[in-house]
Amino acid sequence: MRIEEELIGQNEKVNEQAFRRIDSKLKPVTEAIKMIPEYHGVMFMDKLDDERAVVIRDNDTLEVLPLP
């Protein structure tokens, strides 16, 4: 999943508010959190550079993918 940074920084009553934390200042849920199909099965990930990530999938394969 790709999650907007604004959501990660919020820590006040995180479990109580869940998706209700998204308000008019942030993007709608459909834009703030997106499923990225190319990253399905990724267990570990690290940023390689400004455009790519190195990932290890659940089947132990190592790949380089473009950052979403």
Same domain, 27 and 49: no
Cα distance between residue 56 and residue 59, in whole Å: 8
Same domain, 27 and 54: no
* pTM of the entire predicted model: 0.55
In this predicted structure, what is the pLDDT of residue 47? 94
Q: What integer is the mean pLDDT of 35-44?
A: 88
45: CB partners within 8 A, 6+ apart: 39, 53, 54, 55, 56
Q: Which residues constitute the domain of residue 6?
A: 1-35
Q: What integer is the mean pLDDT of 37-64?
A: 94
In this predicted structure, what is the pLDDT of residue 54? 97
The chain-wide mean pLDDT, for the chain, equals 75
